[in-house]
Amino acid sequence: MQPSRTRTTVYYSLLWLVALLFFLPVFWILMASFKTPDDILAVPPRFLFQPTVDNIVSMLTRPNTIPYFINSLFLSILSVTLALAVSFLAAYTLSRYKFRATNFLMFLILSTRMVPAAALVVPIFQMYNAFQWRNQFGVLMLYTMFSIPFSLWILKGFIDGVSQRYDETGFVNGASRLHVMFRVVLPQVRPGLIAAFIFNLIFVWNEFLLNFILGGPGTQMIPYALAVGLTDSGGNVDWAFVASLSTGYVLLPTLMIFFFQKYLLVGMTFGTVRGEV
């Protein structure tokens, strides 16, 4: 049955309404980053105002802001890339070398992500102190480790979908295992790689608790900066700073989600729902 035009209009109006409602705080923050402190808290809210870049300039000129951005970019991109490399190799192996307890092993690997960060943070803090890993390398490894389970699940789903006949055709024609992995299978799971990359990048980008506890000058990221810069010296919320930093902060995930939204669904379903990618 073809849904009637009115019905479609009603549904879409509702969807737009809910979407706009949820977008409102984001919109408020985005606007605030271009308002003067007086305009930000004005009642009633001012929709027409003289935009200013003062907030952004002052946010960027604070001594640590740029390093926070660099840390965020460096840690998230590098850790997810490393995790993808490890996960691809592992996923290929788990997919092709059928081993009795593969499903249980997959479950065990994923179960490391079922524990809430709040429960992990103390043991990890102690372990990192004991090993003296509270440096760039340590935090990088932590995020790499945390990005592996989801990447592995997504990639295994994708590699399972690549028929072994492809591998075998390669072998019979004289290809090596590495050739098959990187020239035959890898190009066919590119959507999975993108999905895993986006999905985990957003996770690392947003991670706060472990970063707050374990981080140091070389590893503190934007969420940390938001937390410690929340209030000014007088104890009031520094809305100008929060708004402008938030605006810069959501820029990367927003762009990624906008351009790669179809892959996001793949990530959330571990590659079992592949849709049109």
Partner 1 sequence: MTAIALNNLAKSYGRKQILHNLHLSVPAGEFMVVFGLPASGKSVLVRLLTGLEAPDQGNIFLRGTDVTRLSPGERNIGYVPQSFALYPHFTVYQNIAYPLHLARVPKPEVEPEVQRVAGLLGIQSLLDRKPDQLSGGQKQRVAIARGLIKRTDLYVLDDPLVGLDFKLRERLIDDLKRTQAMLNVTFVYTTSDAVESLMLASQIAVLDGGEIIESGSPETLYRSPQHTRTLQSVAFPQANLIDGTLSTQGNRQIIETPAFRAGFSGQPNGPTPQVQIGVRPEQIRIGTAPGRLTCQARVLLREDLGGEEILYLDAQGVQLTTVLRSDDQTQQHVDIDQSVTISMQPQQLIVFQQGRRIGVCTGSE
Binding site for partner 1 (CB under 8 A): 163, 165-166, 168-176, 179, 184, 187-188
CA dihedral 203, 206, 208, 210 (to 10 degrees): 20
Comparison of 174 and 234: residue with beta carbon closer to partner 1:
174
How many CB atoms neighbour CB 100 within 10 A? Answer: 7
CB 173 → partner 1: shortest distance, Å? 4
φ, ψ at 35 (rounded to 5°): -105, 160
Cβ neighbours of residue 193 closer than 8 Å, sequence gap 6 or more: 84, 88, 155, 186
CA pair distance 18, 8, nearest whole angstrom: 16
Comparison of 28 and 171: residue with beta carbon closer to partner 1:
171
Comparison of 13 and 169: residue with beta carbon closer to partner 1:
169
CB 187 → partner 1: shortest distance, Å? 4
CB 186 → partner 1: shortest distance, Å? 9
| Matching residue, tokens 């019979």 | 172
HSE-CB at 118 with a 13 A cutoff on CA atoms is 0
CA pair distance 122, 60, nearest whole angstrom: 33
CB 163 → partner 1: shortest distance, Å? 6
30-59 in b/e burial notation, b at 16+ Cβ within 10 A? Answer: ebbbbbbbebbeeeeeeeeeeeeeebbeeb
CB 166 → partner 1: shortest distance, Å? 5
Comparison of 149 and 157: residue with beta carbon closer to partner 1:
157
Comparison of 173 and 233: residue with beta carbon closer to partner 1:
173
